[in-house]
Structure 1
């Protein structure tokens, strides 16, 4: 899937043609800046946006060669992937040249200047500075003693670049699938907490070495809610509709979340959790009826479950009880 904000979100610059008007509208969603454009013709710029709790996702194309002085980004971090065209980015004393597929990050307290060509189109993730700094302090369990500064350009070979682009695809997919009435709750504080943790764990910055000690990428809140519901209701019939309702999302969104972040479907996760729970129960009380244990954990297709159990442990459920005696 090509990364793009769904076009059911309107172009906020659709009726805006003058340079000063475009500059003013972009400043409302990004930051105060000064912009110069080539030529005197009216602009045909595009700006699409999706608001989140203390963050926003934006797609921006000026359709003209521009030079932008953004000054210092005092209040937010700006994660940028170039979708098309070319731009030059200067941050402090650093300078990078960006083309389609490039990933860059502008950090606060560094003066930024940007030059774009006519075809340049960017997808921007704007995250409030406190959202990242407070989350980092929580993860470190201490106050920050130096600024949080991300690498200006993230190499395409860096593992975090692939995770970030995958996350953008996931976000754009959510914007397509989720109705506007449900978007505020889904993209609320829990979502921003997950997003901040992912950015801090996956992209290189001034605290990366401290955080890189075996931590795993975090799960979105709705996937966590579904997992918690499954773990608490293993003995019941667990349909995708029931799980989606418990997680507060559509079945499709839930299935995509499991595939994206757990690399398995909800049904596969349920089966694995039941296998583990049955194994523990049979080892803890080997005198119990295997059938009773299976039924207690929501297993009704004994043959299929026994095969999956055998692939996991190398022997059937009945053998677990014998081994534990």
Structure 2
């Protein structure tokens, strides 16, 4: 009988995956249940192994959101070939114990290689970590394709449509990724709208004398004004708050309502100096969601046909 891998083995395998980039920095780990099923262990052992990773600063668990790989100062790396060789040895030993012949194992490997060869590599690009994780989950759920998150700040100098079969990003970031792809035709535009909960709050302040919207860039401010303007008829003031923004954050003081996106960093203690703050969470436009899978496949097919 096969013995379920213990804590040390599960920890080593997860650590190997983190160090080799199998789980890239910023990516979300699968659930404990999913990892337990994959590794032949149990959820409790996986949870304890993840606890070790968290204690060493390799990962960070966010309540109700999941566990994410952290950037560390450790320069140590692991040769991915060594990791794969060890895991392959484990699989072959298990196959032998179960009575598989060499021919049967070869057939299984060939079928697995065929499946892996047909997998699509899709990137989703966003400007901040919170929206990136959220949009990644939305696209993955709607398209049925595994999605790799890419933060705009980490993408400088890369050519994303050479790394991935397709690149997805919100419409308001198309200009930001123009220099990160060779062909904008390889980009799947994501039509994002404010979440229903945010819209309900916007409607709830429709009688306020004014609203201030906050974003870290001028283009972001304009997009936020356009979004809020669909639900609020009064005066909307835009304030750009970011590392290099020209606007004075003191303009936010005394505002009856602040509407902010996740990319904006508000001044400390601002909650005590304004009436209320409404954060905007983005969702895929429902009319677009049903067509996303075919849009992704269309982009990939066009690329394959082009050579």
TM-score of the superposition, structure 2-length normalised? 0.28
TM-score of the superposition, structure 1-length normalised? 0.27
When you count helix as a share of all residues, which structure comes out higher?
2
Of structures 1 and 2, the larger Rg is shown by 1
